[in-house]
Structure 1
Amino acid sequence: MRHRSIPGAHGRVRPLTLLGQPVLHGECKEVTGFGPELSRLVEDLFATMYAARGVGLAANQIGEPSRVFVYDCPDDEDVRHLGHVVNPRLVETGGVVLRGPEGCLSLPGLEAGTERYDHAVVEGCTVTGEPVTVHGTGFFARCLQHECDHIEGRVYTDRLTGWRRRRVLRQAARAPWRW
């Protein structure tokens, strides 16, 4: 009997890119090579995400400026969504805009109320180049929007304004992990 491979089981845990490091704040490059290197990157993303206890992780969060992210995230009905997207494009958002607590593995231990739509659709492809469309609602929609932001060189603090933004940036400046 063949068992499906567990995502990240063959990957290595890589250091996380932290707020302020240039690779986190630049737009990622389109993926053009769909070979073993890309498969290794996806495996490393899963391994690193699981080690850090996250629900999503973009390639630039481990220092690779490539348009790739992985996720293992529940929606609001506690349905698990597991996968990856290469060259993702956020093609639709809608529904209600909700402000909810949002954190990021690149800002460990911090979070802030961030506005996101409760519905999102991402299109892209798999590591083998097959087209994929991912629909998310609730918390999973938040995750998809968050990871697509990373691909564009943005972090959730870029979406904050006023006292919320000032507070989380002050906390980041005092954090023991600051870059």
Structure 2
Amino acid sequence: MTIKPLIILPDPILRQVSNPVEAITDDIRRLTEDMLETMYDAPGIGLAAIQIGVPRRMLVLDVSKEGEEKQPRVFINPEIVASSSERSVYEEGCLSIPDYYAEVERPAAITVRHLDREGKEHIVEADGLLATCLQHEIDHLNGVLFIDHISKLKRDMVIRKFTKSAKARGTKAI
């Protein structure tokens, strides 16, 4: 397994819509292992493939609490098939937007259809932190960042800050 470098705002790849995984191959399974290793190293609770520069519809997550046994989960070609009308608010952060957090309102419960590492289809009913994390990571697969769910003023401030930082490092900007 390999820890991959994270793509950081304002890199334009974060706005790219990811392509479906056509076949579950050994390379795809290896990529899920690299993604989990990268997520745990960061440390984070979720990671979409696009965050390591791979525009594929894949994400990994682990919402187990600190001190509990790890519960890594892999979602390939995830699709939200139902959302509750009830809403919930969580403070979100993102490995691609380090050290910035904001309250985001999303559906409180969702149903997600996806494939596992072996290509078997699953339906997951999620609420709480799992629902929030899944929505956050699926947004990444669609080129959407959690800052797109906050006020334009706050979003513009965050983008300006990260663009300035990227220019200072000599890296890509949106």
Distance across 2 between alignment mates of 1:58 and 1:64 = 9
1:158 partner SS: helix
* Residue among 109, 121, 142 paired with 1:152: 142
Q: Provide the residue aligned with 2:108 in structure 1.
A: 118
**1:154/1:48 CA distance change after superposition, 3 Å:** same
TM-score after normalising by structure 1: 0.83
Q: Which moved more, 1:112-121 or 1:168-177?
A: 168-177
Partners of 1:111 and 1:170 lie apart in 2 by: 16
Q: CA deviation at 1:136?
A: 1.5
**Counterpart of 2:55?**
65
Report whether the alignment pairs 1:92 with 2:82: yes
Partners of 1:62 and 1:48 lie apart in 2 by 9
Question: Which digits, 9 at most, give the CA deviation of each residue in 1:83-122, with x for residues without a partner?
Answer: 1111110112215322321110000111111111221221
Give, in whole Å, the separation in 1 of the partners of 2:64 and 2:107.
Answer: 16
> How far 1:79 moved relative to its partner?
10
Q: Of the two structures, which has the highest relative contact order with CA contacts closer than 8 Å and spacing of 6 or more?
A: 2
Aligned to 1:3: none
* Partners of 2:159 and 2:150 in 1: CA distance: 10
Q: How far is 1:59 from its partner?
A: 0.3
| Deviation of 1:173 (Å) | 3.7
When structure 1 is superposed on structure 2, of 163-172 and 22-31 the one drifting more is 163-172
Contact 1:74 1:140 in 2 (8 A): no
Q: Percent identity?
A: 33
- For residues 158-177 of structure 1, the aligned pairs below 5 Å read 158-175=148-165
The equivalent of 2:24 in structure 1 is: 34
1:140 to 98, 109, 130: 130
Taking the aligned partners of 2:62 and 2:138, their CA distance within structure 1 comes to 15
Cα distance in 2 for residues equivalent to 1:140 and 1:150? 15
Evaluate the alpha carbon distance shift between residue 80 and residue 15 of structure 1 in structure 2; reply closer, same or farther with a 3 A threshold.
closer
Quote the offset at 1:80 in angstroms: 7.4
CA distance in 1, matches of 2:157, 2:6: 23
Unaligned 5+ segments in structure 1 are 1-10
Name 2:120's counterpart in structure 1.
130
The alignment partner of 1:102 has SS state of: strand
Does the CA contact (< 8 Å) of 2:10 and 2:163 recur in 1? Answer: no
CA RMSD in angstroms, aligned pairs only: 2.3
Aligned-residue offset at 1:74 = 4.1
Q: In structure 1, the residue corresponding to 2:98 is in which secondary structure?
A: coil
Q: Partner of 2:15 in structure 1?
A: 25
Q: For the Cα contact (< 8 Å) 2:19–2:55, is it kept in 1?
A: yes
Q: Which amino acid aligns with 1:26?
A: Q
